[in-house]
């Protein structure tokens, strides 16, 4: 049966009448790869089902949260029980303490933790706190790292490595972007140069320790340790944005994996188990500046929402009940990546295969990728051919070369074999594309 998205195409047109671009978050619109985004009807385990009747093996997992797979029966069971007790109180619950305790046990650097509703809120609040604590204004971020959509972090590099940032979106004032300095990831000399020039004014360095928003990039050996010692020597706070990597690359996130202790950590995605949750935390003396313990204001009508806390607690408990959860999911992901790489090599492609635990990515370039500039050398046209060929065979990848993919505990050996086989056919189309267009 031919692959069709007729109903989704109609639904997309209808959605555009009421929603900007038809979606509530831009990447869902498939603008990067072209074509129609499937409208999803339901999800179960490793699978997504669209309104056209297509079934997909899902490697997006709602962009990271669904590490147990979709609609895990114990998570949905506990949610069903919770929903009958009311959906929001605006008053404290035992659930909030329970999730905070689980988070602080997993992340020893987080002695105190505040729940919010999204990763964006977590990084926004962590920056305010870092500025209040250090009484400084400047922030350093890394090109290609994404921390949410608030003004201070929607900033791109100015011209030259050590210049102040410029807004990455209309609506962000120059006066705010000018407090943000952007440097290339994995380039410790560039960061050191920024500290030499502005060090005494830098409140915080915010970093995705394992960047997953420009494709998946790995930190070079000792890079994170050097970042940490630079920040420490200037009295600057180091903020690990582990919204994606937390409870994903290891239970205790990248800071456990690489043995680094940041001052503040931002979480999201997995800790919400598929419901809207973010969190930020750190050492007690810093976190006690947050209201009402201290003067730094931050609040939320739905923060610590009982349904969101229930899904998060159930997810973390189920992960910790499986012995060697992260070893197993990492081995499964390695097997998938090795299989796809072998298919690529059969066509003579020497693309870049990156993997950390259950996150993975293929850059369509034969050059090493270690920062945003090198990631941008990827052949996006070739990726887009691959992407659509996979989609038509029932494999749902992130609709952009610059997204990581995510394995879940629900993916089976049969899912992985089917994905590898599909990749062979997809690479054949890429080879055909190169024959027609390049030579």
- The answer to whether the beta carbons of residues 96 and 125 sit under 8 Å apart is no
- Distance in Å, CB of 127 to ligand PLP, minimum: 12
- Distance in Å, CB of 60 to ligand PLP, minimum: 12
CA distance linking residue 84 with residue 22, whole number of Å: 32
Name the residue nearer to ligand PLP (CB basis): 266 or 385. Answer: 266
Name the residue nearer to ligand PLP (CB basis): 241 or 256. Answer: 241
Name the residue nearer to ligand PLP (CB basis): 126 or 286. Answer: 126
- Distance in Å, CB of 149 to ligand PLP, minimum: 7
- Distance in Å, CB of 24 to ligand PLP, minimum: 11
CA distance linking residue 122 with residue 280, whole number of Å: 5
Query: How remote is the C-alpha of 79 from its chain's centroid?
Result: 24
Angle at 220 between CA 184 and CA 283, to 5 degrees: 80
| Neighbouring residues of 215: CB distance < 8 A, sequence distance ≥ 6 | 354, 361, 363, 369, 375, 378, 401, 402, 403, 404
Strand partners, 6: none
Query: Which residues make up the interface to ligand PLP (CB under 6 A)?
Result: 118-120, 123, 146-148, 208, 212-213, 241, 243-244, 268, 278
CA distances from 209 to 33, 253, 344, 382, 418 (A): 27, 9, 28, 28, 32
DSSP string, 350-378: --EEEEETTEEEEES-SS---SHHHHTTS
What are the counts of helices (DSSP H) followed by strands (DSSP E) for the chain?
14, 16
CA distance linking residue 104 with residue 382, whole number of Å: 43
- The answer to whether the beta carbons of residues 181 and 190 sit under 8 Å apart is no
CA distance linking residue 122 with residue 117, whole number of Å: 8
Count Cβ atoms below 10 Å from residue 255 Cβ, excluding itself.
26
Name the residue nearer to ligand PLP (CB basis): 241 or 379. Answer: 241
Name the residue nearer to ligand PLP (CB basis): 5 or 103. Answer: 103
Name the residue nearer to ligand PLP (CB basis): 199 or 278. Answer: 278
CA distance linking residue 152 with residue 121, whole number of Å: 12
Active site residues: 146, 241, 269
Name the residue nearer to ligand PLP (CB basis): 280 or 325. Answer: 280
């Amino acid at each position: 049966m031919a692959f069709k998205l007729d109903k989704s195409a109609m639904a997309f047109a209808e959605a555009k009448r009421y929603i900007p671009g038809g979606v509530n978050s831009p990447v869902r619109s498939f603008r990067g790869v072209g074509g129609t985004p499937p409208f999803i009807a339901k999800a179960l385990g490793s699978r997504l089902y669209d309104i056209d009747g297509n079934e997909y093996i899902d490697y997006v997992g709602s962009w990271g949260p669904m590490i147990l797979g979709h609609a895990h029966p114990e998570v949905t069971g506990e949610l069903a029980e919770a929903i009958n007790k009311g959906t929001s109180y605006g008053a404290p619950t035992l659930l909030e303490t329970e999730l905070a305790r689980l988070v602080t046990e997993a992340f020893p650097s987080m002695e105190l933790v505040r729940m919010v509703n999204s990763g964006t809120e977590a990084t926004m609040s962590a920056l305010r706190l870092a500025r209040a604590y250090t009484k400084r204004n400047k922030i350093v971020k890394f090109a290609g790292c994404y921390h949410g959509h608030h003004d201070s972090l929607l900033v791109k590099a100015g011209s030259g490595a050590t210049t102040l940032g410029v807004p990455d979106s209309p609506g962000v004032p120059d006066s705010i972007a000018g407090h943000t300095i952007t440097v290339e990831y994995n380039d410790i000399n560039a960061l050191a140069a920024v500290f030499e020039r502005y060090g005494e004014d830098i409140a915080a360095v915010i970093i995705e320790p394992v960047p997953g928003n420009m494709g998946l990039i790995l930190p070079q050996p000792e890079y994170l340790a050097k970042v940490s010692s630079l920040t420490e020597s200037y009295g600057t706070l180091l903020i690990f944005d582990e919204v994606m990597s937390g409870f994903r690359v290891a239970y205790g996130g990248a800071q456990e994996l690489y043995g680094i202790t940041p001052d503040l950590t931002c979480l999201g995605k997995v800790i919400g188990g598929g419901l809207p949750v973010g969190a930020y935390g750190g050492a007690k003396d810093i976190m006690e500046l947050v209201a009402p313990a201290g003067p730094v204001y931050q609040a939320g009508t739905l923060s610590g929402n009982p349904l969101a806390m229930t899904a998060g607690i159930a997810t973390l408990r189920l992960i910790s009940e499986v012995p060697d959860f992260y070893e197993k999911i990492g081995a499964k992901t390695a097997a998938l990546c090795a299989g796809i790489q072998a298919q690529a090599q059969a066509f003579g492609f020497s693309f870049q295969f990156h993997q950390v635990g259950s996150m993975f990515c293929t850059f369509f370039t034969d050059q090493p990728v270690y920062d945003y500039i090198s990631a941008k050398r990827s052949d996006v046209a070739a990726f887009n051919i691959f992407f659509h060929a996979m989609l038509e065979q029932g494999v749902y990848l992130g609709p952009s070369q610059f997204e990581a993919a995510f394995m879940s505990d629900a993916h089976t050996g049969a899912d992985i074999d089917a994905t590898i086989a599909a990749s062979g056919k997809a690479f054949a189309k890429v080879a055909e594309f190169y024959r027609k267009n390049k030579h």
